[in-house]
A and B are shown apart, each in its own frame.
Chain A
Amino acid sequence: MHVLSTTRPNDFDPVSLEIYWSRLISITDESAAALVRTAFSTIVRESNDYATVLMDANGDSLAENTAGIPSFVGILPRTLRHMFERIPKESWRPGDCIITNDPWMATGHLLDVTMASPIFHKGKLVAFSGSTAHLPDIGGSLWSADCREVYEEGLRIPPVKFLREGKPNEDVFDFILGNVRVAEQVRGDLFAQVSAQQVCARRLSEFLDDTGIADLAPLSGALQTRADRAMRQAIAALPDGEYRSTVLADGFDEHETRIECRMMIDGDRMHIDYTGTSPQIPRGINCVMNYTHAYTVYPVKCAIDPLTPRNEGSYRSMTVAAPEGSILNPRYPAAVHARQLTGHLLAGAVYGCLAQAAPEKVIAECGGAPTTRALFSGTDKAGHRFSQIIFASGGMGAGAANDGLGATAFPTNVGAGSIEAFESAAPLIVWKKELRQDSGGAGRRRGGLGQDVVIEVASDEPIRLSVLADRVRHPAPGILGGQPGAPVDVVLADGTRPHPKSRSALKPGDKLTIRYAGGGGYGDPRQREPATIADDVKNGYVSAEAARRLYGWTG
């Protein structure tokens, strides 16, 4: 198909390119819909922890699904290259599907499974479909940051053929299903990924038939060149220089962690270096390089080039380095399960640097970075096992023009679920879920509010609680004169505090309060407009007392 009257083969004019690319994205979106609508994993559903990607015969990305989250951006092509090292490309047959969950090859923890399948058209290998999704279970300790090595965290699957020419490799199946608690759900989700890839392959064949394109590499090349050019223009518009920032975090018990970030802008290139960052620790908050890279480049794009559609080319002008053996580039067999507790903080580190180059483009640190999650599991009165995550977020950091959004996560994007649905699935009563007054960092623009959630255990037997949180001792700092938001607190009615990164037991009748952190403020609070302060007080976002103390309000 030639769209325009003057189009020559492989000469991608701006119309054909737009049309081809929108079709390819629509293929990955259709593939993603097949995955997410049948997923058992609540993380896939509420937290969009999945991606479907179409890659050309070289393994370069052509298109990714629209709603996929940044942690998976650009990682699949890297995983595919690791797969080629184990299983040479020549030995991939039609109908094959290769699987792995190796944290270093893929997205940083065992619960994410990545699959890739070759797509043949008219007998020739033309593309690869890939998908990554979070499983409900992968064995091991499940939902804990307290492991010391990755071995404790579950089953590690090296790249192996999961399907051979369309038929399940039963040995691999048996190994996986023999290691998980909810075998049928895991089987269901693995096949959801397989179906997603089949949709992708089928639709790509139609695309190739319709367009007459035989080789996709020139198309991916043209798309990536354009995305690359847009990002380079955005970087070139920033003042050259070297900028530094430091982010401190709770880490694990005595291992407090520190992220040192150095951003170098030179013409149309940006280099980000994490030299000086804490060494890896024997607990599950180490963040593999793939994840470090993804959470470094994503916030840069949000700040300086938010409108260009993304593809792999978007990040060619950026390089990211982290010392081997650090929490941002740990050596095997480091424990990595809760790598987001470290990785989500990188946005703050990046914006700390970028604020010096382009203060109007960044936001203060977020209360929802990292996410605060709590999982409740046990047995209900009828004897059914339950396992429910309470989804809620802290407040976003404020920007130059906007207050931070309350109860909204960044850099990840987590949905809230429904309390009524939560209570229908577990013997738990939620007594409160409301915005947390005075938790947003004061500033000319106020940080977003965190929230308070109060949950009572209504089972007959003790249940297990797993908390994964940070920012207990290190609230989200403000920026350019803004104040920090309120810290996280997880506390029982009797005043005791469960471990924020480990497993504990709750008794029937226990009442747990989770206080989600507020976002940092932006600019001097004394410069906030009195009418805006008055409105905050009227609506109870800020107490009159705090308004007087922090903003100098006289109302």
Chain B
Amino acid sequence: MSARVRVGVDVGGTFTDFVLVDEARDLIFTGKRLTTSRDPSDAIIAGTERLLREAGRAIVELDSVVHGTTLVTNAVIERKGAKVGLVTTQGFRDILEMGNETRYDLYDLALERPAAIVPRHLRHEVSERINAGGERLLPLDEAGLRQVARALARDRIEAIAVCFMHAYRNPVHERRAREILNEELPGIPVSISAEIAPEIREYERTSTTCANAFVQPLMQRYLGRLADRLGGMGHKGTIYLMLSAGGITTVRAAREAPIQLIESGPAAGAMAAAYYGGLTETPGLISFDMGGTTAKMCLVEGGQPARAHALEAGRIRRFKKGSGLPLKLPVVDLIEIGAGGGSQAWIDAMGLLKVGPHSAGAEPGPVCYGRGGTKPTVTDADLLLGYLSPDYFLGGEMQLDRQAVERAIDEQIAQPLGMSVLDAAIGIHSVVNENMAQATRMYIAEKGKDPRRFAMMAFGGAGPVHAYGLAQILKVSRIICPFGAGVTSALGFLVAPPAIDLVRSYVTHLDSVDWAAVAKLYAEMEREARALIAETGADPAAITIRRSADMRYVGQGFDVDVELPDGIYTRPSATDFQQRFFATYRRLFDRWVDGVPVEVTSWRLSASAPAPTVSLNFGGHSAPTGAARKGERPVWFARTGLGPCAVYDRYGLAPGASFAGPAVVEERESTVVAGPDTRVTVDAHRNLIIDIG
């Protein structure tokens, strides 16, 4: 493949981040601009032009733009999408509203549920029925459906979702329904559940299909405009989109199933972490990305982030499991908790110190920003503990107000709790670390793993500040802090492979599988996956295919992800599958059960092309000067208390440099904190490697 110029763009809530890779010159350029929420393509165009200028490249030389966006997730959170009509099987229009019927908070009598994406009067039923075996019990009432179409037209709906019972098993009625709706309502996009989320469990499938319809008109408009504007500038290359599972896809595929883009930003972060894992030859990593409002943790093993088959979006009670919309789609498996630099400290009804999940965000921000924030935050505590410098925040662009912080912490935390201001700051820092540690430990334990066997990669503005404290609680002994922590995520767009994950539900006991049906499922999925990947321009011969299945003991409700071999399956495959299931089950739960039959619920296929490689040679940054040590200031560590600590300039540290902690290393977007029991080394890519103990 010839040397290319590629740009990665991450449209976040506040900032749009850019990374440009110039393969011929082996250089990387980075940039950052404020997101233009009214039309995000404004910032994209302006930022791309500027980066090309800095790199000395013309737009016609730009091969590809890889893009991720929070547009989908924001539309779901703010419920600002299309007016959607839903068509369901007779008797099931309320599944979307009833959901799983549980209360996500056991003590709240005035609990609210997230509003259904489609209100009841826009949910229509038609007579039709497929059973669990995929057989037709009732034909599709086509005349009835045409009447529904007319009612939808009267209500001026902008998109339609169709979800019929057991359509994952037999999509014939949904497909016919789409044909009819297309005839009756030309130009209105129709999402059918058998294509958007072909998995058993009607609520989750309906929810996903409706969410897709909800964001589709918006994303179709946006993607169309972006392509037009880039084309108008003279861009002749390709635009790719990042999927929630960390693969990239074409604009055409993204327009069909835009809901798949919902986690594109976090997925890029995880892909970047995976890339750094390979670069630093670290087999197992906990990616730790802590920003202003949240912290995200993701396990990366063997160069791949953990993946899941579902997520919950648009939670109405922040971070409360069950308060959002379930989506069945392939996604990078990460946890996100309400712990960030802006997380506010408060005292609960028991008189205990709490931190988060409420956040001061960027506006008004922490007290120390002096922009009107009044409640003490994590960043404020970090300032008092010496981790942050009042004079070198954002590279010195913003002066931090230490006195205001002391006053706020004293009045709101220290006095009510009867402790010193220093102790209150220690408390805030420790409690937020503890929150993150407990969430991380739980997340890792559910995978049957032990955090001690992993290194941690810290990025985001607050990640490198808190990584040392977090690592101590989790007994992680190595921290990796990449160079340019502020744009690490955007780099993920340029190291992601073209990839796609497909699924079909077919529930069957392992001893009575219809192997011909399974062969057909896999043949279909493989054909579809290869076509999609070929569309990205990848070499068809280089595509790799992996298969897996969701399996469990009959009677259980949680599936275990079991890797399957490639090839043709026959009767004896059942024994092999069972052995694989036992092995996986034992790895996760330390035991297995004898004498209970095993079943498969869903069959999965992942296809990917090779990932591009990027060398980390940051253009636009001067070579390290060697004059790294800036001075000294008092910094607090649990072991030593508040004591003198060396301060280094990240940009002066050359590869190979090494020093003992305690140390604080300052860079523009963040500060790396290394405790007294550490050794810090700068590797060949200017990453800081912190070894603890």
**Residues on A close to B: CB < 8 A?**
1, 3-6, 13-15, 17-19, 21-23, 26, 29-30, 33-34, 36-40, 42, 45-46, 67, 69-70, 136, 182, 184-185, 187-188, 191, 195, 226-227, 229-230, 301-303, 305-310, 361-363, 382, 391-393, 399, 401-402, 405-410, 413-416, 418-421, 423-424, 429-435, 451, 454, 538-541
Q: Pick the contact of A429 from B107, B137, B441, B445 — CB < 8 Å?
A: B137
Q: Are A184 and B596 in contact (CB under 8 A)?
A: yes
Contact with A along B106-135 (1 / 0, CB 8 A): 111111110000011100000001011000
Q: Determine whether the beta carbon of A19 is less than 8 Å from that of B430.
A: yes
Contact of B347 among A14, A19, A413 (CB under 8 A): A14
Residue of A3, A405, A410, A420 with most chain B CB atoms under a 10 A cut-off: A420
Q: In the complex, A246 Cα to B556 Cα: how many Å? A: 41
Q: Are A424 and B132 in contact (CB under 8 A)?
A: yes
The answer to whether B557 and A45 touch across the interface, beta carbons within 8 angstroms, is yes
B123 → chain A, closest Cβ, in Å?
9
Among the listed stretches B20-28, B180-188, B200-208, B267-275, which one makes contact with chain A, having 4 or more residues with CB under 8 Å of it?
A: B200-208
Report which of B101, B110, B202 forms a contact with A392, defined as CB distance below 8 A: B101
**CB pair B110 A401 closer than 8 Å:** yes
Indicate which residue in A6, A45, A402, A406 contacts B110 across the interface (CB closer than 8 Å): A402
Cβ-defined partner of A307 (8 Å) among B349, B419, B438 = B349
Q: Is B99's CB under 8 angstroms from A23's CB?
A: no
The residues of A that contact B113 with a CB separation of less than 8 Å are 405
A18 to B200, CA, bound (A): 41
Chain B, Cβ-Cβ closest to A361: B109
Give every chain A residue within 8 A of B93 (Cβ-Cβ). 434
List of A residues within 8 angstroms of B422 by Cβ:
5
Q: Does B507 contact A (CB under 8 A)?
A: yes
The size of the chain B interface, using a CB distance under 8 A, is 76
In the complex, A136 Cα to B446 Cα: how many Å? 24
Q: Which secondary structure dominates chain A's binding surface?
A: mixed
Contact B203 A433 (CB under 8 A): no
From A3, A45, A405, A431, B427 is in contact (CB under 8 Å) with A3
Tell me which of B44-52, B585-593, B656-664 binds A: B585-593
Residues of B within 8 A of A4 (CB): 419, 423, 426-427
Q: How far is the CA of A507 from the CA of B596 in the complex (A)?
A: 29
A306-B107, A419-B165 known; A5-B423 Cβ under 8 A: yes
Complex A-B, nearest 5 residue pairs according to Cβ-Cβ distance, in ascending order: A432-B91, A15-B427, A416-B101, A539-B120, A306-B107
User: Would you mind naming 28 contact pairs between A and B with Cβ atoms under 8 Å apart?
Assistant: A1-B638, A3-B426, A3-B427, A3-B430, A5-B422, A13-B423, A15-B423, A15-B430, A18-B354, A18-B427, A42-B557, A184-B596, A302-B108, A306-B108, A306-B109, A309-B348, A362-B109, A405-B111, A407-B101, A410-B103, A415-B100, A416-B100, A419-B95, A420-B165, A420-B200, A420-B201, A538-B121, A539-B119
Q: Once the chains bind, are B101 and A40 in contact (CB under 8 Å)?
A: no
* Cα-based distance from A22 to B92 in the complex (angstroms): 42
Asked if A5 and B426 make an inter-chain contact with CB atoms under 8 angstroms apart, the answer reads: yes
Docked CA distance A421–B591 (Å): 26
B631 within 8 A of A: no
Q: Which residues of A contact B108 (CB under 8 A)?
A: 302, 306
For B352, what are the chain A residues with a Cβ–Cβ distance below 8 Å?
14, 17-18, 21, 226
- Which residues in B have their C-beta under 8 angstroms from that of A540? 120-121
Question: B residues near A, CB below 8 A?
Answer: 90-95, 97-103, 106-113, 119-121, 129, 131-132, 137, 165-166, 168, 200-203, 347-354, 417, 419-420, 422-423, 426-427, 430-431, 434-435, 438, 441-442, 445-446, 507, 512, 553, 555-558, 588-591, 593-596, 638, 641
Contacts of A70 in B (CB 8 A): 106
CB closest chain-B residue, reference A402: B110
Q: Cβ of A418 and Cβ of B202 under 8 Å apart?
A: yes
Task: Say whether B101 contacts A184, CB under 8 Å.
Answer: no
Residues of B within 8 A of A399 (CB): 109-110
| B101/A409 in contact, CB under 8 A | yes
A19-B434, A38-B589 in contact; A420/B132 too (CB < 8 A)? yes
State the CA gap A435–B593 with chains docked (Å). Answer: 40
Q: B555 contacts which of A15, A185, A391, A420 (Cβ < 8 Å)?
A: A185
Task: List the B residue with the shortest CB-CB distance to A1.
Answer: B638
Report B-chain residues with C-beta under 8 Å of the C-beta of A424: 132, 200, 507
Most B C-beta atoms less than 10 A away, residue of A26, A305, A540: A26
Q: Find out whether the CB atom of B348 lies under 8 angstroms from the CB atom of A434.
A: no
Nearest CB of B to A338, in Å? 21
| Given A3-B430, A303-B109, A418-B201, residue A22 in contact with residue B91 (CB < 8 A) | no
Closest to B423 in A: A4
Whether A6 pairs with B589 at a CB distance below 8 angstroms is no
Which partner residue on chain A sits nearest B588 by CB separation? A37
Give the complex CA separation of A6 and B417 in angstroms: 13
Contact between chains at A406 and B200 (CB < 8 Å): no
Give Cα A191 to B166, complex, Å.
35
Cα–Cα, bound, A301→B97 (Å): 28
**Cα-based distance from A26 to B641 in the complex (angstroms):** 28
Q: How far is the CA of A184 from the CA of B598 in the complex (A)?
A: 13
A454 touches B91 (CB 8 A): yes
Is A421 a contact partner of B101 (Cβ separation < 8 A)?
A: no
Chain B residue, CB-CB nearest to A311:
B350
Q: Could you tell me the distance between the alpha carbons of A416 and B108 in the complex, rounded to whole angstroms? A: 20
The interface residues of chain B lying within 8 Å CB-to-CB of A303 are 109
B103's partner among A26, A42, A408, A421 (CB-CB below 8 A) is A408
Nearest B residue (CB) for A67: B106
CA distance A69 to B119 in the complex (A): 31
Contact A40 B426, CB 8 Å, known A408-B101, A410-B103: no
The docked-state distance in angstroms from the alpha carbon of A434 to that of B91 is 6
Contacts of B92 in A (CB 8 A): 419, 432-434
**Bound CA span A431–B131, Å:** 11
> Smallest CB–CB gap between A419 and chain B, Å?
6
User: Given A401-B110, A406-B97, A14 and B353 touching (CB < 8 A)?
Assistant: yes
With both beta carbons as reference points, the residue of chain A lying nearest to B558 in the complex is identified as A37
* Assembly CA distance A399 to B119 (angstroms): 23
Nearest CB in chain A: distance from B143 CB, A: 20
Partner of A38, one of B347, B348, B353, B556: B556
Q: Which residues of B contact A430 (CB under 8 A)?
A: 91
Q: Is the CB of B434 within 8 A of A30?
A: no
Using A3-B427, A19-B434 as known contacts, say yes or no to A26 and B97 having CB atoms under 8 A apart: no
A26 touches B438 (CB 8 A): yes
Q: Is the CB of A187 within 8 A of B434?
A: no
Chain A CB within 10 A, most for which of B121, B350, B430, B446: B350
Quick one: closest B residue to A458, CB to CB? B131
Q: Are B427 and A14 in contact (CB under 8 A)?
A: yes
| Contact between B120 and A226, CB atoms less than 8 A apart | no
Given contacts A30-B442, A392-B101, A393-B101, 20 further A-B contacts (CB under 8 A): A1-B638, A14-B417, A18-B352, A18-B434, A30-B441, A229-B350, A302-B109, A305-B349, A307-B107, A391-B101, A407-B101, A409-B103, A415-B101, A420-B202, A423-B132, A424-B507, A435-B98, A451-B94, A540-B120, A541-B120
**Distance to closest chain B CB from A531 (angstroms):** 15
Cα–Cα distance between A229 and B555 once the two chains are bound (Å):
44
Complex CA distance for A430 and B137, rounded to whole angstroms: 12
Residues of A within 8 A of B348 (CB): 307-309
A426→B112 CA distance, assembly (Å): 34
| Nearest A residue to B91, CB-CB | A432
B98 to A539, Cβ gap below 8 A? Answer: no
Question: In this complex, what residue of A is CB-closest to B352?
Answer: A18
Bound together, the chains give a CA A191 to CA B420 distance in angstroms of 49
Assuming the contacts A13-B419, A14-B417, A402-B110, asked whether A416 and B103 have C-beta atoms less than 8 A apart, the reply is: no
Assess the B555–A136 pair: CB atoms within 8 A. Answer: yes
Name which of A362, A402, A423 has the most chain B CB atoms within 10 A of its CB.
Answer: A423
Asked if A433 contacts B417 (CB within 8 A), the reply is: no
The residue among B417, B434, B594 with the most chain A CB atoms within 10 A of its own CB is B434
Q: Are B350 and A308 in contact (CB under 8 A)?
A: yes
Bound-state Cα–Cα, A29 to B321, Å: 14
List chain A residues, Cβ under 8 A from B557: 39, 42, 45-46
A184 touches B595 (CB 8 A): yes
